[in-house]
Structure 1
């Protein structure tokens, strides 16, 4: 209960742009004034929060405002994508202090590649000058599926050879820091929740468009992970029954109709993109950017490919919104910026037509508030979530007691 109450206080302070007084914290958290005072004293002693001046509002003594101490805690984020590996060092208020990108090593053995990532993290910490004792841990966002209990990536479709790679253990040994591993889509949902204001919707689906496509889920202000940490594997929702055959044996799954590499292949077949140069192949991000530019320049084939993609994706997303009754859909991921103009123009009307709750509430469609290229920020937020966010499960007594 003490840990839960402390997390409630930290989370309340974090969500307030201007900071809160002890009186305001007691009112918002529903805790006794003495309990709040004791918790705040512990947090001040640990330098996780600071007193940030006085505030006068009406008669009585001025109230002391409490805010998070940016230098009170840090986290490292590691985002692993089949194309790009990203690193970020983040302070307690979510400011990215260091950001590094490099091509993902799919040539070395997975164990060696992950060990090299650990060495890179050590280098980033050393060069940053941050007090290592203040680093709460390393958050790792990886393509699924994952074995969340052991911190193992199981067999990501676009990373051949990465079968049951113990990310958590290798990185713990190479960095000497606590490590938390989660799916990239879940990390993206955590980042959206972390970066949002207290007034933001507490129920939403986060549709992550990377090399693969997945979904994160937030209900009642908590990220839902599922029994094994693999919620959101939407790749085999059927969007076009007459579409291409999928490796699952069915036709028209998201995996073969909406993924970025599929759109690039369609664009080449339609002449909207130049044929691939085998001597100097372009990267998938470059190809998707070229497709988006062609559409922006008025190429009819490129525009039709993206429009069809939006329609098919709306069908898949409507399955989620109808099942879960959420009021907001957030799109993000590495390839979202290129698709955003088309999706934001078409998706709201499509979802309104496909939603069964239209007569009750609308479904908002928005892009992520996390900046493009900061996927590693989401990974760092996994550590922040573990430290700051109150979870109802923490109130449950051990069944063995």
Structure 2
């Protein structure tokens, strides 16, 4: 209970841009003034929060404002994508202090590649000069599926040989730090809650567009992970019944109609993009950016490729919004910037038409508040979530009946 109450106080403080007084914290948390005072004293002693001046609001003595201490805690984020691996060092208020990108090593044995990532994390910490006891841990975002209980990556698409890789154990051994791991789509949903703490809806779907497409889910202000940590595998939702065949035996799944590599292949087929030179590995990010640029310049065929993908993805997303009755859809991920203009132009109206609750409430469609190129931010936020966010499940006893 004490840990839960402390998390409630920390979460309340971080959500307030201006900070809160002890009186305001007691009112918002529903805790006794003495309990709040005791918790705040502990947080001040550990330097997780600081006193940030006084505020007068009516009669009585001024109230002391409490805010998060940016230097009180830090987190490392590691985002592993089949194309690129990103690292960030984050302070307690979400400022990115260090950002490093490198090509993902898919040639080496997975265990060796992951150990090298741990060595890179050690270098980042050493070069930052931050005391190691202030580093709360390492958050890792990886393509699914995952085995959350064992911290294992389970044969993600586009990462041949990465089957049952004990990623969490390898990184804990190579960094000497606690490691928390989640799917990249779930980490992105956590980042959206963290970065937009004051303005976010409490119920939303996060549609992650990377090398693959997945969905993160937030209900009642809590990230939903599912029984095995694999919520949001939407690759086999049918987006176009007349679309191409999928390896699952059906036709028109998201996996074969909406993925960035599918859009690039379609663009090549209609002559928007040139054929890839023989012997040269194509660059998916560069090709998708070229497709988006052609559409922006008025190329009719390029515009239709993107518009068709928007229609297909809107159909798939509407399955989620209708099932879950959320009031917001957030798009993000490494390839979102190239698609943002077309998708934000077309998808809101398409979702309105496909929504069974449009006569009750609208479904807002936005792009992520997290900066493009900082996907590892979401991974670092996994550590912050574990430290700051209050979850009623913490109060349950592990009892067997």
Q: Deviations over 1:338-357 (max 9, x none)?
A: 00000000001000000000
Superposed displacement of residue 222, structure 1: 0.4
Structure 2 residue matching 1:266: 3-state secondary structure: helix
Superposed displacement of residue 195, structure 1: 0.8
Superposed displacement of residue 145, structure 1: 0.2
Structure 1 residue matching 2:100: 3-state secondary structure: strand
Superposed displacement of residue 24, structure 1: 0.4
1:285-304 equivalent positions in 2, closer than 5 A = 285-304=285-304
- Structure 2 distance, partners of 1:208, 1:199, is 20
Structure 1 residue matching 2:271: 3-state secondary structure: coil
- Structure 1 distance, partners of 2:278, 2:203, is 46
Q: Deviations over 1:304-324 (max 9, x none)?
A: 000000000000000000000
Q: Does 1:333 align with 2:319?
A: no
Residue 100 of structure 1 corresponds to 100
Residue 183 of structure 1 corresponds to 183
- Structure 2 distance, partners of 1:371, 1:248, is 35
Superposed displacement of residue 397, structure 1: 2.2
Q: Does 1:58 align with 2:58?
A: yes
Residue 209 of structure 2 corresponds to 209
Residue 379 of structure 1 corresponds to 379
Residue 152 of structure 1 corresponds to 152
Q: Does 1:393 align with 2:386?
A: no
Structure 2 residue matching 1:164: 3-state secondary structure: strand
- Structure 2 distance, partners of 1:106, 1:200, is 37
- Structure 2 distance, partners of 1:400, 1:328, is 38
- Structure 1 distance, partners of 2:39, 2:281, is 57
Q: Which piece of structure 1 moves more, 54-63 or 210-219?
A: 54-63
Superposed displacement of residue 280, structure 1: 3.3
Residue 135 of structure 1 corresponds to 135
Task: Give unmatched runs, 5+ long, in structure 1.
Answer: none
Superposed displacement of residue 281, structure 1: 3.3
- Structure 2 distance, partners of 1:49, 1:69, is 5
Residue 29 of structure 2 corresponds to 29
Structure 2 residue matching 1:262: 3-state secondary structure: helix
Q: TM-score normalised to the size of structure 2? A: 0.99
Residue 260 of structure 1 corresponds to 260
Residue 271 of structure 2 corresponds to 271
1:355-374 equivalent positions in 2, closer than 5 A = 355-374=355-374
Superposed displacement of residue 196, structure 1: 1.0
Superposed displacement of residue 278, structure 1: 2.2
Residue 314 of structure 1 corresponds to 314
Residue 350 of structure 1 corresponds to 350
* Backbone CA RMSD of aligned residues: 0.8
Superposed displacement of residue 61, structure 1: 0.5
1:185-200 equivalent positions in 2, closer than 5 A = 185-200=185-200
Q: Deviations over 1:30-66 (max 9, x none)?
A: 1000000000000001100000111111110100000
Residue 49 of structure 2 corresponds to 49
Residue 229 of structure 1 corresponds to 229
Q: Deviations over 1:201-241 (max 9, x none)?
A: 10000000000000000000000000000000000000111
- Structure 1 distance, partners of 2:79, 2:307, is 29
Residue 110 of structure 1 corresponds to 110
- Structure 1 distance, partners of 2:169, 2:288, is 35
- Structure 2 distance, partners of 1:296, 1:336, is 15
- Structure 2 distance, partners of 1:281, 1:294, is 21
Q: Does 1:120 align with 2:108?
A: no
Superposed displacement of residue 104, structure 1: 0.3
- Structure 2 distance, partners of 1:302, 1:161, is 35
- Structure 1 distance, partners of 2:378, 2:252, is 31
Instruction: Extract structure 1 runs of 4+ deviating beyond 4 A.
Output: none
- Structure 2 distance, partners of 1:283, 1:199, is 36
- Structure 1 distance, partners of 2:246, 2:395, is 44
- Structure 2 distance, partners of 1:146, 1:280, is 32
- Structure 2 distance, partners of 1:397, 1:174, is 33
Q: TM-score normalised to the size of structure 1? A: 0.99
Superposed displacement of residue 242, structure 1: 1.6
